[in-house]
Amino acid sequence: MKEDIQNFPKQLQFSPEIKNKEKWNEFENYVLIGMGGSHLQGDVFKAIYPDFPLLLHQNYGLPFLRDAQKTGFIAASYSGNTEEVLDAYNMALSSNFPVAVVSKGGKLLADAKEKELPYIELPQDKIEPRIGIGYTYKSLLKMVNGDGPMKDSKEAVENLERMQPDLEKNAKDLVSSLENRIPIIYATQKNSIIAGMWKINFNETTKIPSFYNVVPELNHNEMTGFDVIPSTEKLSEKMIFILLVDREDHPKNQKRLKVLREVLEKRNLEVLEVKVEGVSRTEKVFSGILFSEWMAYYMAHFYNTNYANSPMVEEFKKMI
């Protein structure tokens, strides 16, 4: 996994090819169907291009759309065997909606090839789906934009490679502060994908509980759960709060995070700040994600957990 994280920026050099491209058009709207690590590229895309008409669907069936015939449906499953994605994919096909596939293999890719549907086959690298988010993001970019203006610059890739040593070092230095604690990650709505990836990587790589939320919403509800009094202090004593701060956030949200730190520390709760670094929006999103991957990797070493496997998920899949 260490090598996979180190090589991550190279994923953004991936040039995906749409097979059966003549059957795929530009649409007024798009729906990305995906679960787990296979929907994360959509969250990243929306964080970089928030105004683009892309809807994320993480469930069985299909979302209700008024203009489904003007919508391109993209079924994404890293393994190609995700139950919910296959269900939605089959429903879209039976409804004669335009459907394309992004996958590494499995039933989904085999069926797309058999039916000669548009598809992108992901590289066969043996990496976890959440670590392969660069490949899936570039594939989504290709599917919704073709060869249009939304491209990641060569400079962004080079800058991420340059930032890697510092990201790893800073993450490693921070591990001791998080030992035997439950990380609660807070960011602004704009950076919710970064906070979400911190949580996911702590859950899947480190195998520990972790949670996230965003301002301003959490200031209206969640933070009151940490208004510690003697009868509730044991509920909060294991928590550590990580605030992801970004100088480009709305000034009022920057103030909210600053004041949030003050009110949490006033209640003797531990708070850490992590800056979201990068020049472009692409760099900021992916550097924040890379930082979380390094954090989770080194935390897994501390807890001696198997960061590659997800036995509880596999157990659950067998049971259902």
DSSP labels, 263-293: HHHHTT-EEEEEE---SSHHHHHHHHHHHHH
CATH 3.40.50.2300 assigned to domain 2-145? The reply is: no
Query: Which has the closest alpha carbon to 163: 71, 276, 301?
Result: 276
Pick the CATH number of 154-303 from 3.20.20.70, 3.30.450.40, 3.40.50.10490, 3.90.1300.10: 3.40.50.10490
**307 confidence band (pLDDT: 50, 70, 90):** confident
Q: Could you tell me the residue ranges of all domains in the chain?
A: 2-145, 154-303
The first and second tokens of residue 95, run together, are 């409804």
**What percentage of the chain reaches a pLDDT higher than 70?**
98
The first and second tokens of residue 212, run together, are 């996230």
Between 88 and 317, residue with greater pLDDT: 88
For 153-179, the pLDDT digits (tens) are 678 888 999 999 999 999 999 999 999
The first and second tokens of residue 211, run together, are 């949670």
Give me the pLDDT at residue 177, please. Answer: 95
**121 confidence band (pLDDT: 50, 70, 90):** very high
Q: Assess whether the region 2-145 and the region 154-303 belong to the same CATH fold.
A: yes
Task: Judge whether 141 and 199 are in contact, CB under 8 Å.
Answer: no
Give me the pLDDT at residue 194, please. Answer: 97
**What percentage of the chain reaches a pLDDT higher than 90?**
82
Q: Distance between CA 130 and CA 11 in Å, rounded?
A: 12
Q: Distance between CA 139 and CA 19 in Å, rounded?
A: 12
